[in-house]
A and B are shown apart, each in its own frame.
Chain A
Amino acid sequence: MKIRGLLVVLCLTSAGCIAAPGGSSLSADRVDPLLASENLGNSGVTLDPPGLLAPKVQAQGAFAVCTNGRAPCPPTSPTAARLAIATDAGPGTADANGKITLLMNKRLVWAISWSDIECRFRGGGLGDPSIPSVSASPVSCDTVAFVDAGTGEFLYEVTYERH
């Protein structure tokens, strides 16, 4: 995390360098509000258009979670950053009484996406213990990182198979 920060500083202090280390950057022409509702594969995430809601944190600021050590992002440049109202009945935090507050329940977010990239999955379960397990890897995946558009807080990131 510290290392990435140092590299970003070096990059910013060098003439003409605007990309983060590794060349990943978010192009302005890839930033848009979502125009139509969509479900993100089988991930359980639903995105709806933001309407007239405006973000307090701009897309480039949201993308900073990928370079400042707060989020585990893919190494390539994002395909898009879309402002959206996001809902997912899965991720949430439990209080002392067990009551769960969802991380995304109609929350205004930046959905920063990497489309059609190499899948980032673990190896799956054990097969025959004498043989290293290699799951049947899907051809490609979509990864989407969610960042609160009001605070810039990284929420989580989802990866699912393309069908």
Chain B
Amino acid sequence: MGERRQLGGTALRTALRLVSSFLSAAALAISVLLAAGTPVSAAGPCAGSGSWFAGWYSGGAAPAHEPEGVKASLLYRDGDGCSAAVGGSKGRGAWVMIQGKNQATRYVQSGYWMFGNAFDCWHHFSEYNNGGGTVAKEGPCTNLNQVHVPLVKYIPNPARTELWIDSLRLDVMNSCVCAFARPLWVDYLGESQDTHSDVPGLSATKGEWSSMQIQYFTDNTWHGTCGTITLFKDVTLARYAADAPACNDTRSWTATP
């Protein structure tokens, strides 16, 4: 009996030591996580899903200046996500896009994104929908506070639209954006898929699209946005903000994180 009690006691002590070790390790890990920067957002718990934007878009252009391609030097910035962002439609990021006039489901875009779940990272992406369904390609993880060049360009022969980040071609849409509703629009936008998440950028560290260009439908070549298209501000949540230091330089950010 004594031996059995001793064994039982040893087993109990061993179990307690294991539990104690685990709890200590967990406490250590939590303190390290807090010191390293927690993934839980200051933006709060998630609310309703949708799409909210901050930035600029062209609501049409003179026929000679109608865009079929778009690019910019995009400064990648951080943006908090809501604290239960584990699903598919809780992301945030920023991008450039060609879209059909007033058409939410005819578009071609590239930029950077974070879905927000535990296995995610800030990364380059491309996405399009030409009416045949949406296709998205997610590239490797990337660092923030760097400038990259997202680019959507039309190649006339054979007709296709290519989606790029810097020297990485992420995808090719084997059709022309000419079938979208006309005149085509371009967008330079930050986006969040939850009202409690932030579009990238803060007041002191704004997200920025500079050296903005469009590719003319008429000549397939690149032109600056100054004097060619009219850009309109699009801010769909009061916490977000956008401005335009120049006609080829726009910014967006979360004003009230």
Contacts and interface: CB of A to CB of B under 8 A. Distances in A.
A127 B57 CA distance: 11
B95 A122 contact: yes
Interface residues of B, number: 72
Given A75-B118, A135-B104, A70 B22 contact: no
A90 interface: yes
Contact of A24 (B119, B136, B185): B119
Nearest to B234: A129
Interface in A114-149: 117-129, 132-138, 141
Nearest to A14: B22
B23 to A, nearest CB: 11
Given A6-B32, A44-B135, A72-B123, A126 B102 contact: yes
Nearest to A94: B167
Contacts of A121: 88-89, 127, 134, 136
B76 interface: no
B191 A1 contact: no
B169 A42 contact: no
B105 A136 contact: yes
B25 A14 contact: yes
A42 B167 contact: no
A123 B50 contact: yes
Interface string B64-94: 0000000000000000000000111101010
A58 B88 CA distance: 28
A72 to B, nearest CB: 5
B120 to A, nearest CB: 5
Contact of B117 (A42, A43, A74): A74
A129 B169 CA distance: 30
Task: Indicate the member of B51, B100, B117 with the most A CB atoms within 10 Å.
Answer: B51
B172 A89 contact: yes
Contacts of B245: none
Contacts of B137: 43, 90-91, 156-159
A43 B102 contact: no
Contact of A6 (B33, B106, B123, B169): B33
B52 interface: yes
A125 B105 contact: yes
Contacts of A137: 89
Given A10-B29, A69-B141, A122 B191 contact: yes
B99 A6 contact: no
Given A66-B119, A90-B171, A125 B99 contact: yes
A137 B88 CA distance: 11
Nearest to B170: A91
A15 B57 CA distance: 54
Given A71-B140, A91-B171, A156-B140, A22 B117 contact: yes
B236 A156 contact: no
Interface string B12-29: 000000100010011001
16 contacts: A6-B32, A14-B22, A22-B118, A44-B174, A69-B121, A71-B140, A72-B121, A91-B137, A94-B167, A123-B50, A126-B189, A128-B102, A129-B234, A135-B134, A159-B135, A159-B136
Interface of B: 18, 22, 25-26, 29, 32-33, 36-39, 50-53, 57, 59, 86-89, 91, 93, 95, 97, 99-100, 102-107, 109, 113-115, 117-121, 123, 125, 127, 129, 132-141, 167-172, 174, 185, 187, 189, 191, 193, 232, 234, 236-237
Given A43-B135, A67-B119, A90-B171, 12 more contacts: A21-B118, A44-B172, A71-B121, A71-B141, A75-B117, A75-B119, A123-B191, A125-B104, A128-B102, A156-B138, A159-B136, A161-B133
